Amino acid sequence: MKKLALMLLLCLNMAGLNAWAQESLNLEKAIQAGLENNLQIKIAVENVALREGDRKIGAGDLFAPQVDATYLRSFSKEDVEQKFINDPAPRQIDDARSRNENFSVVGIYGFRPESTIIMKRLGQLSEISEIEAKVTVENTVAGISTAYYRLILELQRYQVLKETLRLSKARLDIAQAQYELGGAGKRDFLSAQVDYNGDSSLLLTQEEIILNARVNLNELMAVAPDLEYDIKDSIIISEPLQLEFLLENAFLENKQLLIAQRQKNVAFLQIRELQASRLPAINLNGSYLNNTLNSDAGFLIQNQRQGFNYGGNITVNLFNGLTLNRRIQNAKVQQRIQEYSLDQFEIQLQSDIQRAYNTYQKNRQLLVIEQKNYQVAKENSEIALERFRLGIASYLEFRDAQVNLLTAENRLITSIFQIKEQEIELMRLSGKIFFENSSISFTPPSN
């Protein structure tokens, strides 16, 4: 619990959201806001506190003695008729009063051999809840990182569409001037107008996509969906990741794997706990008693006792209908299930890392191609625009070059985003989600 609290303390920035509302937001601020406000994290931390409380309750029940103090005072008023052997005549006492005052302190301490094993099992369960909270933190960081870079991607696409619209407007102006001067037909002018309107529609649709991407990020940060901020950032790709490094760290620090390992330990301790319950249990008890009885009837009109009583017993279960044997057998079955689950998760973890790494590598190879293709498409678009201004190229040739540039730019920035997305997933799987970026980036054209 202390380790988790320290980790969250290092991650959280207690500065309010107003510090960056209407200002620039970077990934670090987004993660800090999410860790501070995300309700799933708060629920996970409270679950850790609950499990830690259960462990302490178990320690008190198993190892602390139980001491009870009782004070009793009672009164009675009765009509009594008594006959004695040496006096056969009945004796009548009306309104005979009696008073009884009793005070006792009783202490009981019982030790069961399985107590220490139970505490180990509760400790493992407490660790599991703590690791589960860390899983929630990692998933939140990964989700915010992906949503943050998704928003950057959509903003970059918006800039690409704005540049495309600018070129469409330039083409429209040229076509209009040529039409008005009689150098071109009306068909070319109308085609330019249609393409310009289509590009305007795409830009408007992209604005909607950006708004929803911002809402998605705000949801993960647990802030108002309409909170506005600027993002002056680009998608940066880290240095190439190594598969050996990822696998090695995954088997050491993947939180889901750590949970599976501890669940296997819990199943083993459950067997030990049941087996230890066959051993003798020791119970010790002691009490202090102070009792005073006063009575108006009988030979004894006052009786007072005080003193200590103590003793102990040893209990061994001899037979319970083989129920314990069946419980032990079930616990062994559960242990085998946990072992199979752990082995299966290790295979799945390796496969998930391998699949993500394969995609990551291919995307890095594609990035080189997309960068070259973007440069070619950009140069071709510039040449086509100049040829169109001079009246050498047709509007179809210019539009084709324009569409090719738009496609190349979109493919390039999408490729960079996909590499970053796989980086986040690989670092999450390897338990290294808190990572730093390096230096490959793409900045879209600006007006």
pLDDT (tens digit, 9 = 90+) per residue, 56-100? 777 766 777 888 889 888 888 777 777 666 766 777 777 778 888
Inter-helix orientation angle 243-253/255-276, to 10°: 30
* Interval 99-120: pLDDT, tens: 888 888 888 887 788 888 888 8
| CA nearest neighbour of 30 among 229, 211, 235, 237 | 229
Lookup result for tokens 């178990």: 58
pLDDT at 440 over 60: no
CATH number of the structural domain spanning residue 414: 1.20.1600.10
Cα–Cα distance between 203 and 197 in angstroms, integer? 10
Residue 54 is assigned to a structural domain of this protein: no
pLDDT value of residue 445: 42
pLDDT bin (cut points 50, 70, 90) of residue 303 is confident
Average pLDDT taken over every residue of the chain: 83
Is the four-CA dihedral 205, 209, 210, 211 of positive or negative sign?
Answer: positive
Residue 253 is assigned to a structural domain of this protein: yes
* Interval 243-284: pLDDT, tens: 999 999 999 999 999 999 999 999 999 999 888 888 888 888
Residue 102 is assigned to a structural domain of this protein: no
Collapsing DSSP states into helix, strand and coil, what is residue 257? helix
pLDDT bin (cut points 50, 70, 90) of residue 434 is low
Phi and psi, residue 336, nearest 5°:
-65, -40
pLDDT at 435 over 60: no
Which of 22-31, 94-103, 205-214 holds the top average pLDDT?
205-214
Q: What is the mean pLDDT of residues 350-358?
A: 96
pLDDT bin (cut points 50, 70, 90) of residue 209 is very high
Amino acid residing at 10: L
Residue 427 is assigned to a structural domain of this protein: yes
- In the chain, what's the furthest Cα-to-Cα distance? 151
pLDDT value of residue 17: 44
Residue 64 is assigned to a structural domain of this protein: no
Cα–Cα distance between 116 and 119 in angstroms, integer? 5
pLDDT at 444 over 50: no
CB neighbour list of residue 23: distance below 8 Å, 6 or more residues apart: 229, 230
10 Å Cβ neighbour count for 428? 24
Collapsing DSSP states into helix, strand and coil, what is residue 432? coil
Residue 183 is assigned to a structural domain of this protein: yes
CA geometry: angle at 276 spanning 279 and 131, to 5°?
160
Tokens describing residue 375: 């440069």
* Helix/strand/coil percent split, the chain, to 5: 65, 20, 20
Residue 369 is assigned to a structural domain of this protein: yes
C-alpha pair distances (Å), 114 with each of 15, 110, 314:
49, 12, 15
- Strand-pair category, 236-237 with 66-84: unpaired
pLDDT value of residue 297: 65
Q: Which residues of 285-320 are buried (b: 16+ CB within 10 A; e: fewer)?
A: bbbeeeeebebebeeeeeeeeeeeeeeeeeeeeeee
pLDDT bin (cut points 50, 70, 90) of residue 16 is very low
Tokens describing residue 429: 């799987």
DSSP string for residues in 26-82: -HHHHHHHHHHH-HHHHHHHHHHHHHHHHHHHHHHHHHS-EEEEEEEEEEEEEEEEE
Residue 88 is assigned to a structural domain of this protein: no
C-alpha pair distances (Å), 241 with each of 42, 414, 417, 420:
32, 19, 16, 11
Containing domain of residue 159, as a range? 2-37+112-279+316-441
| CA nearest neighbour of 429 among 120, 7, 142, 226 | 142
| Choice between 390 and 219, residue whose per-residue pLDDT is larger | 219
Percent of residues, the chain, with pLDDT higher than 70:
88
Which range is least confidently modeled, 42-51, 122-131, 231-240, 299-308? 299-308
| Choice between 78 and 42, residue whose per-residue pLDDT is larger | 42
Query: What total number of domains does the chain contain?
Result: 1
Which range is least confidently modeled, 116-125, 132-141, 348-357, 360-369? 116-125
pLDDT at 54 over 70: yes
CB neighbour list of residue 334: distance below 8 Å, 6 or more residues apart: 267, 270
CB neighbour list of residue 130: distance below 8 Å, 6 or more residues apart: 1, 3, 4, 48, 51
* Interval 322-353: pLDDT, tens: 888 898 999 999 999 999 999 999 999 999 99
CB neighbour list of residue 345: distance below 8 Å, 6 or more residues apart: 256, 257, 260
pLDDT bin (cut points 50, 70, 90) of residue 155 is very high
Q: Is 22 left (phi over 0), alpha (psi -120 to 50) or beta?
A: left
Answer for the pair 264, 255: CB distance below 8 angstroms, yes or no. no
